[in-house]
Structure 1
Amino acid sequence: MGSRGPRSLVLVLPRPGGPGGRGLWGSEGSRGPSSPAARGLRPTMRLRSPRLLLLLFCGLRAVVAVSQEREVRAMVGSDVRLACVSLEEGSFDLNDVFVYWQISEPGKANAKSVVTYYLPENSSAGHSDNHYRDRAWLSLDSMRQGDFSLHLHNVTPQDEQKFNCLVFRKSLELRKILDVVVSLHVAANYSMPVVSGPSQDEELTFTCTSTNGYPRPNVYWINRTDGSLLDGALQSSTVSLNARGLYDVVSVLRIGRAPSVNVGCCIENVLLHQNLTSNQPEMFTGDKKSVPDGPAHDTLEAGSRPVLSVLGVLAMAVVVAVVTGWLCRNRCPHRSHTDARAARPELELAELV
Structure 2
Amino acid sequence: MRLRSPRLLLLLFCGLRAVVAVSQEREVRAMVGSDVRLACVSLEEGSFDLNDVFVYWQISEPGKANAKSVVTYYLPENSSAGHSDNHYRDRAWLSLDSMRQGDFSLHLHNVTPQDEQKFNCLVFRKSLELRKILDVVVSLHVAANYSMPVVSGPSQDEELTFTCTSTNGYPRPNVYWINRTDGSLLDGALQSSTVSLNARGLYDVVSVLRIGRAPSVNVGCCIENVLLHQNLTSNQPEMFTGDKKSVPDGPAHDTLEAGSRPVLSVLGVLAMAVVVAVVTGWLCRNRCPHRSHTDARAARPELELAELV
TM-score category, normalised to shorter length: 0.7 to 0.9
Shift of 1:198: 1.0
Describe the superposition over 1:307-334 as per-residue Cα deviations: whole angstroms up to 9, x where unpaired: 9899999999999999999999999999
1:174 matched to 2:124? The reply is: no
* SS class of match (2:90): coil
Shift of 1:150: 0.2
Query: Contact 2:229/2:307 (CA < 8 Å) preserved in 1?
Result: no
Shift of 1:284: 1.1
* SS class of match (2:292): helix
Query: Contact 2:52/2:127 (CA < 8 Å) preserved in 1?
Result: yes
Shift of 1:260: 1.2
The alpha-carbon distance between structure 1 residues 110 and 338, as it changes in their structure 2 partners (threshold 3 A), is: closer
Describe the superposition over 1:258-285 as per-residue Cα deviations: whole angstroms up to 9, x where unpaired: 1211111000000001000000110111
The alpha-carbon distance between structure 1 residues 241 and 292, as it changes in their structure 2 partners (threshold 3 A), is: farther
Structure 1 CA distance, aligned partners of 2:17 and 2:195? Answer: 47
Structure 2 CA distance, aligned partners of 1:350 and 1:240? Answer: 25
Structure 2 CA distance, aligned partners of 1:308 and 1:49? Answer: 91
* SS class of match (2:156): coil
1:153 matched to 2:105? The reply is: no
The alpha-carbon distance between structure 1 residues 339 and 107, as it changes in their structure 2 partners (threshold 3 A), is: closer
The alpha-carbon distance between structure 1 residues 202 and 169, as it changes in their structure 2 partners (threshold 3 A), is: same
- Aligned pair partner of 1:184 in 128, 140, 143: 140
Shift of 1:295: 4.6
Corresponding residue for residue 232 of structure 1 = 188
Query: Contact 1:261/1:285 (CA < 8 Å) preserved in 2?
Result: yes
Query: Contact 1:291/1:297 (CA < 8 Å) preserved in 2?
Result: no
Query: Contact 2:213/2:243 (CA < 8 Å) preserved in 1?
Result: no
* SS class of match (1:197): strand
More deviation in 267-276 or 340-349?
A: 340-349
Question: What is the percentage of aligned positions where both structures have the same residue?
Answer: 100
Structure 2 CA distance, aligned partners of 1:191 and 1:223? Answer: 21
Query: Contact 2:183/2:303 (CA < 8 Å) preserved in 1?
Result: no
The alpha-carbon distance between structure 1 residues 60 and 330, as it changes in their structure 2 partners (threshold 3 A), is: closer
Structure 2 CA distance, aligned partners of 1:54 and 1:286? Answer: 71
Shift of 1:226: 0.7
Corresponding residue for residue 239 of structure 2 = 283
Shift of 1:46: 3.3
The alpha-carbon distance between structure 1 residues 256 and 98, as it changes in their structure 2 partners (threshold 3 A), is: same
Describe the superposition over 1:67-99 as per-residue Cα deviations: whole angstroms up to 9, x where unpaired: 000000000000000000000000000000000
The alpha-carbon distance between structure 1 residues 173 and 287, as it changes in their structure 2 partners (threshold 3 A), is: same
Corresponding residue for residue 216 of structure 2 = 260
Gaps of 5+ in 2: none
The alpha-carbon distance between structure 1 residues 295 and 110, as it changes in their structure 2 partners (threshold 3 A), is: farther
The alpha-carbon distance between structure 1 residues 263 and 335, as it changes in their structure 2 partners (threshold 3 A), is: closer
Shift of 1:291: 2.5
Query: Contact 2:158/2:212 (CA < 8 Å) preserved in 1?
Result: yes
More deviation in 63-72 or 313-322?
A: 313-322
Query: Contact 2:123/2:132 (CA < 8 Å) preserved in 1?
Result: yes
1:85 matched to 2:41? The reply is: yes
Matches within 5 A, 1:12-51: 46-51=2-7
* SS class of match (1:121): coil
Query: Contact 2:214/2:243 (CA < 8 Å) preserved in 1?
Result: no
Query: Contact 1:84/1:165 (CA < 8 Å) preserved in 2?
Result: yes
Shift of 1:341: 56
Query: Contact 1:164/1:181 (CA < 8 Å) preserved in 2?
Result: yes
Shift of 1:100: 0.1
TM-score, length basis structure 2: 0.82
Shift of 1:296: 3.8
Describe the superposition over 1:128-156 as per-residue Cα deviations: whole angstroms up to 9, x where unpaired: 00000000000000000000000000000
Larger Rg: 1
More deviation in 116-125 or 286-295?
A: 286-295
Corresponding residue for residue 218 of structure 1 = 174
The alpha-carbon distance between structure 1 residues 223 and 181, as it changes in their structure 2 partners (threshold 3 A), is: same
More deviation in 320-329 or 150-159?
A: 320-329
More deviation in 336-345 or 155-164?
A: 336-345
Shift of 1:242: 0.3
* SS class of match (2:301): helix
Describe the superposition over 1:203-239 as per-residue Cα deviations: whole angstroms up to 9, x where unpaired: 1111100000000000000111111100000000000
The alpha-carbon distance between structure 1 residues 195 and 334, as it changes in their structure 2 partners (threshold 3 A), is: closer
The alpha-carbon distance between structure 1 residues 83 and 345, as it changes in their structure 2 partners (threshold 3 A), is: closer
* SS class of match (2:104): coil
Which structure has the higher relative contact order (CA within 8 Å, separation 6+)? 2
Query: Contact 1:257/1:286 (CA < 8 Å) preserved in 2?
Result: no
The alpha-carbon distance between structure 1 residues 308 and 181, as it changes in their structure 2 partners (threshold 3 A), is: same
Structure 2 CA distance, aligned partners of 1:273 and 1:114? Answer: 33
Query: Contact 2:231/2:305 (CA < 8 Å) preserved in 1?
Result: no
Shift of 1:49: 1.2
